[in-house]
């Protein structure tokens, strides 16, 4: 009767009869004769709750299931407990390399008892030293426990990062005990890589865990979990060693594989990470909306409210920068309300959602000079980061970057004690950023250099500040972080303005204006023109304003998203002209200058 009840639970859930599904679940749990059935039905309920977006209920069910089958999992494991699990893992590895995990015997999900007996016979042939009284039953139990643990750990990531880490580490220990690989092993090894890399600081080892997970994933014929692995590798690991642009191909493949295999939740998360990563990289905002808008219906009509809300807030950020929200620097308008969004995440105790949305607001407030609002956001964000939420995400260094810039921008107006506090926090932030810059200079070195320039400025070491500003601008330009090149140019312009160097201030404010324009942040372009009218030539302002008024791109906003039509040739011509003018201002070697202009003309 167990298979019948299992199917009945799924049917009731698909028909949105949640209370009936939960009643059937209780019947199965109370009458299940084996731990295999208990583990499997709890795993099923985790999947169903997760599909609904009810992560809290999913975590509760997962922990109850693990306790029921004998897993002693602390609800709030401390660092000592985590350290002990890590020590056990290191001892079990012995002389094995991380890459050797790819050679461990793979056991697919058993279809029935006969299939499990065949799998067990093959396992015992390869591991004759293992002492198992009933190999088929015992291995089936181990697999069912592993499925339950991996699903519980996935949900724990949203609410209790220490619990997530504990389940991952103990889960990998469990797999090594029995020398088995199963279909979720790649997912577990990527999670392990994020802990070893982001939490412990061994980024190269973390990257090796990730690459090994990808190799195992390719070997597995069953593709139903390919989406999760291809999502998790760039989400947690790759950007610590390679440029963030390489994350995008994995997210796009993850979306495709998720759609093909019915993993709609991770397909939705992949879409949001495409948008977020492109925003962080400084891609043109219109182009981001053009790609992001294609997924509007899929994102907003799914069952997971976090995916829909995350999609909407990313869209609102782009529209705010373009100048298509209620007012400059605000995300509000067309039914979207910033305070309602923030309150929703707080009420749901969704730490990840709170952090992501706060980061959107932190960026916007910094760019439009609302430094007091930035400072108000920081304490909650620090608390969430301290709990290891968003572990391994590219959002973490992004937060430290904007936090540091907020402190340096606020320094002049701060009192003596505040200044001491700011300097101490800046030193701590820079220590972290330096570690990341050494691990992956393409993503983080120019961020470190810009904050270093601001620090030298407030210390009165102007020559060093000047040098760091120029290095930061060049690093951001070289690695394609257009918005951070714009910020660095703007800060250098203000540095020269404070030093009464009007010509130099004008030159770099014009560069900032061009960079913001190319990014598509027309609201910021307008702000610079209003605040620093004397520094930006009339022709440059006229060119930007002509583009703004003649944009062939019609963006239609709703509270749910954005639709976009194609851009006119006029917009393309002006955009190309702006890029060429930027090349001329930054290149002094004639051969390279001509080569770059020809390349820009051909590609445009």
The SS3 of residue 542 is helix
Average pLDDT over residues 440-467: 97
Output the pLDDT for position 515.
97
Tell which residue, 507, 474, 492, 532, has the closest CA to residue 585: 507
Average pLDDT in the 577-584 region? 49
Question: Could you tell me the pLDDT band of residue 266, with boundaries at 50, 70 and 90?
Answer: very high
Indicate if the pLDDT at residue 182 is higher than 50: yes
Here the tokens at position 570 are: 């006029």
Q: Is the confidence at residue 83, as pLDDT, over 80?
A: yes
pLDDT for position 139:
84
- Residue 326 main-chain phi, psi, to 5 deg: -55, -45
Find tokens 């796009």 and name the residue: 252
Higher pLDDT, 470 or 20: 470
- Dihedral sign for Cα atoms in the order 342, 347, 348, 351: positive
pLDDT band for position 572 (50/70/90)? very low
The per-residue DSSP string of 103-115 comes to: GSPB-PPPSSHHH
- Dist CA 375 CA 176 (whole Å): 46
Per-residue pLDDT tens digits for 16-34: 677 888 888 888 888 888 8
Supply the mean pLDDT for the chain: 87
The arithmetic mean of pLDDT across residues 184-190, rounded, is 90
Instruction: Please report which residue ranges of 262-394 form alpha helices under DSSP H.
Output: 264-281, 285-292, 296-300, 305-322, 338-348, 351-367, 371-386
386 three-state secondary structure: helix
Choice between 571 and 318, residue whose per-residue pLDDT is larger: 318
Give the residue from 166, 171, 229 showing the smallest Cα distance to 195: 166
Dump the DSSP string for 141-201.
HHHHHHHHHHHHHHHHHHH-HHHHHHHHHHHHHHHHHHT-B-TTHHHHHHHHHHIIIIITS
* Residues ≥6 apart with Cβ < 8 Å to 446: 471, 472, 473, 474, 475, 476, 479, 481, 484, 488
pLDDT at 548 over 60: no
Which residue, among 363, 347, 350, 351, has the nearest Cα to 314 in the 3D structure?
A: 363
Planar angle of CA 188, 94, 237, nearest 5 degrees: 30
Q: At what angle do helices 203-219 and 226-236 cross, to 10 degrees?
A: 170
- Would you say residue 552 has pLDDT above 80? no
User: Residue 148 pLDDT > 70, yes or no?
Assistant: yes
Arithmetic mean of pLDDT, 267-293: 97
Kindly give, in sequence order, each residue whose CB lies less than 8 Å from that of residue 484, ignoring residues fewer than 6 positions away: 282, 446, 447, 450, 472, 476
Please state the rounded mean pLDDT for residues 424-433: 98
Cα separation of the two ends of the chain? 65
What's the alpha-carbon Rg for the chain, to the nearest Å? 26
Which segment of 104-108, 276-280, 550-554 scores lowest on mean pLDDT? Answer: 550-554
Q: What is the pLDDT of residue 537?
A: 83
**C-beta contacts of 533-539 below 8 A and 24+ residues apart:** 534/506, 535/493, 535/497, 535/502, 535/505, 535/506, 535/509, 535/510, 536/506, 536/509, 536/510, 537/510
pLDDT at 566 over 50: no
CB-CB contact of 227 with 265 (8 Å): no
Predicted confidence (pLDDT) per residue in 97-120, tens digit: 999 999 988 888 887 778 888 888
Q: Is the predicted pLDDT of residue 351 greater than 70, yes or no?
A: yes
Answer yes or no: is pLDDT of 573 > 80: no
Q: Does 554 have pLDDT greater than 60?
A: no
How sure is the predictor about 137, in pLDDT bands with cuts at 50, 70 and 90?
confident
C-alpha–C-alpha distance, residues 251 and 355, integer Å: 21
Cβ 190 vs Cβ 209: under 8 Å:
yes
Phi, psi angles (nearest 5°) of residue 334? 55, 40
| Mode of pairing for the β-strands spanning 561-564 and 555-558 | antiparallel
Q: Where are the domains of the chain?
A: 2-250, 351-439
Query: Which of 106-120, 138-152, 277-291 is predicted most confidently?
Result: 277-291
- Cα 375 from Cα 409, distance rounded (Å): 11
pLDDT reported for residue 242: 97
For the chain, percent of residues with pLDDT exceeding 90 = 55
Whether the pLDDT of residue 556 is over 60: the answer is no
Q: What is the mean pLDDT of residues 409-434?
A: 97
Q: Please tell me the distance from the alpha carbon of residue 597 to that of residue 604, in angstroms, as a whole number.
A: 11
Per-residue pLDDT at 602: 46
Pick the residue with more confidence: 200 or 590?
Answer: 200
Judge whether 287 and 309 are in contact, CB under 8 Å: no
Average pLDDT of the residues in 420-430: 97
Q: How confident is the model over 226-265, as pLDDT tens digits?
A: 999 999 999 999 999 999 999 999 999 999 999 999 889 9
- Least confident stretch, 96-100, 236-240, 299-303, 488-492: 299-303
- What mean pLDDT is predicted for residues 342-363? 95
pLDDT recorded at residue 564: 43
Does the pLDDT at position 603 exceed 80?
no
């Amino acid at each position: 009767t167990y298979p019948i009840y299992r199917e009945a639970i799924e049917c009731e859930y698909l028909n949105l009869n949640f209370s009936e599904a939960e009643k059937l679940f209780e019947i199965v749990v109370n009458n299940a004769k084996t731990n295999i059935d208990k583990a499997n039905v709890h795993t099923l309920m985790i999947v169903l709750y997760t599909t609904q977006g009810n992560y809290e209920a999913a975590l509760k069910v997962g922990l109850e299931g693990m306790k029921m089958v004998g897993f002693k999992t602390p609800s709030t494991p401390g660092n000592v407990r985590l350290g002990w699990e890590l020590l056990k893992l290191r001892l079990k590895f012995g002389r094995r390399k991380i890459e050797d995990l790819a050679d461990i015997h793979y056991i697919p999900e058993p279809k029935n008892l006969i299939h499990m007996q065949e799998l067990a016979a093959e396992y015992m042939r390869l591991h004759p030293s293992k002492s198992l009284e009933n190999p088929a039953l015992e291995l089936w139990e181990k697999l069912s426990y592993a499925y339950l643990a991996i699903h519980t750990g996935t949900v724990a990531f949203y609410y209790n990062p220490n619990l997530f880490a504990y389940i991952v580490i103990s889960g990998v220990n469990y797999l090594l005990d029995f020398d088995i690989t199963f279909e979720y092993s790649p997912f577990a090894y990527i999670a392990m890589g994020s802990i070893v890399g982001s939490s412990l600081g061994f980024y190269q080892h973390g990257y090796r865990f990730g690459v090994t997970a990808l190799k195992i994933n390719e070997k597995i014929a069953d593709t139903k979990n390919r989406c999760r692995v291809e999502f998790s590798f760039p989400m947690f690991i790759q950007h610590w060693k390679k440029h963030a642009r390489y994350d995008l191909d994995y997210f796009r493949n993850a979306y495709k594989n998720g759609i093909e295999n019915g993993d709609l939740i991770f397909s939705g998360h992949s879409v949001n990470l495409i948008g977020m990563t492109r925003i962080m990289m400084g891609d043109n905002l219109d182009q981001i909306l053009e790609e992001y808008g294609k997924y509007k219906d899929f994102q907003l009509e799914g069952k997971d409210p976090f995916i829909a809300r995350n999609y909407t807030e990313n869209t609102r950020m782009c529209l705010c920068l373009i100048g298509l929200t209620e007012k400059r620097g605000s995300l509000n308008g067309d039914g979207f309300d910033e305070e309602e969004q923030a309150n929703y995440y707080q009420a749901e105790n969704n730490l990840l959602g709170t952090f992501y949305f706060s980061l959107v607001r932190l960026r916007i407030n910094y760019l439009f000079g609302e430094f007091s609002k930035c400072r108000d956001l920081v304490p909650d964000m620090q608390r969430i980061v301290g709990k290891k939420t968003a572990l391994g995400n590219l959002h973490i260094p992004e937060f430290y970057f904007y936090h540091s810039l907020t402190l340096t921008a606020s320094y002049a107006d701060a009192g003596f004690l505040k200044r001491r506090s700011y300097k101490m926090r800046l030193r701590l932030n820079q220590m972290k950023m330096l570690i990341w810059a050494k691990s992956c200079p393409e993503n983080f070195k120019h961020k470190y250099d810009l904050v270093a320039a601001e620090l030298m400025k407030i210390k009165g070491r102007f020559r060093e500040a000047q040098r760091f500003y120029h290095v930061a601008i060049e690093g951001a330009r070289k690695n394609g972080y257009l918005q951070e090149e714009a910020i660095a140019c703007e800060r250098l312009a203000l540095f020269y303005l404070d030093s009464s160097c009007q010509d130099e201030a004008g030159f770099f404010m014009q560069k900032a204006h061009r960079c913001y324009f190319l990014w598509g942040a027309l609201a910021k372009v307008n702000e610079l023109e209003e605040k620093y009218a004397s520094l930006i030539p009339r022709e440059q302002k006229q060119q930007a304003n002509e583009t703004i008024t003649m944009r062939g791109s019609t963006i239609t906003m709703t509270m749910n998203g954005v639709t976009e039509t194609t851009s006119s040739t006029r917009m393309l011509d002006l955009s190309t002209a702006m890029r060429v003018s930027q090349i001329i201002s930054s290149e002094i070697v004639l051969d390279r200058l001509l080569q770059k202009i020809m390349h820009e003309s051909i590609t445009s």
